[in-house]
């Protein structure tokens, strides 16, 4: 499905998809809402996740904490329907534009995974919430499923 990376010209200006996965077989992905451009999340894909995303037109990612491919929304119901898939100039980063069923993307319960802003007054750093209300209660949706956040 993916082409071999043969020349810089082909990678940068050609029509062949030849993604550059890192030494762990992963490529970073940013995901935004197609309607309003809000950044929903950052994740990674391996070749299998990218292939599934292309074939099914629904976002699939590789979970570094669970060490497996996951279909976004399979458990929660908040499926990310892929509207556009873009790749950057040297094909080492992917941008998904999606429509989200259920209007949430973050496992913590917020619309976006980027629900806090970093503030620094020159002395102290603090996080300020940019989203005040959760879209859903994670305990109701995920129950006793393992939290993907690793300390």
Here the CATH number for the domain that contains residue 36 is 3.10.20.810
Average pLDDT over residues 37-45: 97
**pTM higher than 0.85:** yes
CA-to-CA distance for 16 and 43, rounded, in angstroms? 23
* Domain annotation covers residue 97: yes
pLDDT of residue 19: 97
Question: What's the structural domain count of the chain?
Answer: 1
pLDDT in tens, 68-120: 999 999 988 999 999 999 999 999 999 999 999 988 889 999 999 999 999 99
Q: What is the domain extent for residue 83?
A: 8-107
* Domain annotation covers residue 38: yes
Specify the range with the lowest mean pLDDT, choosing from 6-20, 66-80, 136-150: 136-150
Burial of 53 (0-12, 13-18, 19+ CB in 10 A): buried
pLDDT of residue 81: 97
Average pLDDT over residues 20-39: 97
pLDDT in tens, 45-79: 999 999 999 999 999 999 999 899 999 999 889 99
């Amino acid at each position: 499905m993916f082409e071999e990376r043969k020349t810089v010209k082909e990678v940068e200006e050609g029509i062949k998809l030849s993604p550059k996965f890192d030494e762990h077989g992963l490529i970073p992905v940013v995901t935004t809402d197609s309607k309003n451009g809000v950044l929903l999340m950052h994740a990674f894909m391996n070749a299998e996740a990218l292939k599934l995303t292309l074939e099914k037109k629904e976002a699939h990612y590789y979970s570094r904490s669970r060490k497996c491919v996951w279909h976004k929304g399979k458990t929660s119901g908040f499926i990310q329907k892929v509207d556009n898939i873009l790749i950057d100039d040297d094909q080492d980063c992917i941008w998904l534009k999606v429509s989200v069923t259920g209007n949430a993307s973050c496992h913590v319960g917020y619309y976006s995974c980027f629900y806090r802003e970093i503030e620094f007054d020159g002395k102290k750093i603090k996080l300020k919430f940019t989203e005040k209300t959760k879209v859903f209660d994670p305990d109701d949706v995920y129950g006793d499923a393992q939290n993907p956040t690793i300390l």
